[in-house]
Amino acid sequence: MITENLSRINATLGEGVRLVAVSKTKPVEDIREAYAAGQRIFGENYATELRDKHAVLPEDIQWHFIGHVQSKQLKYYIDFVSMIHGVDSVEHLMDIEHAAAKAGRVVNCLLQFHIAQEETKFGFTLDDEIFNSRFSPLDYPHVRICGVMGMATNTPDRDLIRREFRTLRDYRDQLAERYFSGHPEFCELSMGMSHDYDIAMEEGSTLVRVGSAIFGARNYSQVTNH
């Protein structure tokens, strides 16, 4: 089914949209099947699970960490991760800067914004202290800030989801203008999951993070490390 799901989803991807196949909790065999079907970008939420999968799967996979960043766990993936989506505090930005410098890398990151109505979703807001007039991407030479990431409210109200995605796009555009002139890499808009990636693409998403629509429903009781 994975191969069929992928080809169905790939057929609907807009121009300039990349698919992050979210494989958290799924076995490596499932990732191998998606890989054989041509998928190269995979998203994982749990640091040690990401470390373990990276160790046994093909080298040319681009691993995106889409979970909540925990500074102590950066060591498990900082050496190889292609992009970290969920950077949601200055502390994390500084901790990633230090870890990346130590690893001798420049690591791609996205700033996570709070756009949903739920209280529980992590993220910056535009009036956070970090976005004062002194903010500069040059303060983090081992972090390449490539754009923003967000999650819409988990709701059947598709108009609400659309408004939240528009808000996120607006944040990206405002930040690009304020702080990232001369930084064309600040362009990514990571939004859209299995149930809302169609809306996200209509609103300008460049990275959709799709899990269950590719791999089927997740069974959390099978994993122990989160």
Ligand X SMILES: *Cc1c(COP(=O)(O)O)cnc(C)c1O
Question: Looking at 89, 153, 155, 194, which residue binds ligand X (CB under 6 A)?
Answer: 194
In a 3-state reduction of DSSP, which class is residue 200? helix
Question: Looking at 71, 73, 153, 212, which residue binds ligand X (CB under 6 A)?
Answer: 212
Query: Near ligand X by CB under 6 A, which window of 100-108, 119-127, 134-142, 205-213?
Result: 205-213
Question: Looking at 2, 6, 9, 22, which residue binds ligand X (CB under 6 A)?
Answer: 22
Give the C-alpha separation, 96 to 134, whole Å: 20
Strand partners, 44: 65
Check the CA dihedral 208-213-215-218 and report its sign: positive
Q: Is 211 a binder of ligand X (CB under 6 A)?
A: yes
User: Are the C-beta atoms of 120 and 93 separated by less than 8 Å?
Assistant: no
Q: Is 209 a binder of ligand X (CB under 6 A)?
A: yes
Question: Looking at 31, 66, 110, 207, which residue binds ligand X (CB under 6 A)?
Answer: 66
Size of the site for ligand X (CB under 6 A): 12
Quick one: tokens of 19? Answer: 């698919």
Of 76 and 112, which has the nearer Cβ to ligand X?
Answer: 112
Q: Is 45 a binder of ligand X (CB under 6 A)?
A: yes
Q: Which of residues 114-153 bind ligand X (CB under 6 A)?
A: 151
- 222's CB contacts (< 8 A; 6+ apart) are 25
| Rounded least distance, CB 215 to ligand X, Å | 8
Of 81 and 193, which has the nearer Cβ to ligand X?
Answer: 193
- 193's CB contacts (< 8 A; 6+ apart) are 22, 151, 208, 209, 210, 211
| Rounded least distance, CB 199 to ligand X, Å | 13
Give the C-alpha separation, 34 to 31, whole Å: 5
Point out the residue whose Cβ comes nearest to ligand X.
211
Q: How far is CA 211 from CA 44, 75, 208, in A?
A: 10, 25, 10
Query: Near ligand X by CB under 6 A, which window of 8-16, 90-98, 132-140, 203-211?
Result: 203-211
Of 69 and 107, which has the nearer Cβ to ligand X?
Answer: 69
Q: What is the 3-state secondary structure (H, E, C) of 26-64?
A: CCHHHHHHHHHCCCCEEEECCHHHHHHHHHHCCCCCEEE
Q: Is 210 a binder of ligand X (CB under 6 A)?
A: yes
Residues that bind ligand X (CB under 6 A): 22, 24, 45, 66, 151, 193-194, 209-213
